[in-house]
Structure 1
Amino acid sequence: MHAGRHYSLGTVLYWTRRDILLFTLIAAVPVSINEFVVPLPPLPWQPVAMLGTAVAFMTGA
């Protein structure tokens, strides 16, 4: 555990570089499938926003 008061952006990025790369690759998979293989129909933003708000309330975020 690091108990310093302030860390530079470069330091934080250095510490989290593997996680950033992993989550970027995970996010690239569905985006690539949607872009190049199976285009999905567009979703209206209202139900997505309603669902996101409901999940945020249920999880206490």
Structure 2
Amino acid sequence: MHDNIHSLFSFGFGGDMSAASYFEDLPEDVKRIVSEHAHEFHSVDEMKKYVENLLKP
């Protein structure tokens, strides 16, 4: 399910393990959404901002 995002951490983000850890700590539904949009992120910061917006009340 999360292959896109794992590829992004391994290659696109230079193997950033802190980003991978951040992703793994997210709720399952958020992981699914982030994974579906992985191709849209050009940095870990972009992904984190996207997640912050998802989690806003």
Could you say which TM-score interval applies, normalised by the shorter chain? under 0.3
TM-score by length of 2: 0.25
Greater gyration radius: 1
TM-score by length of 1: 0.23
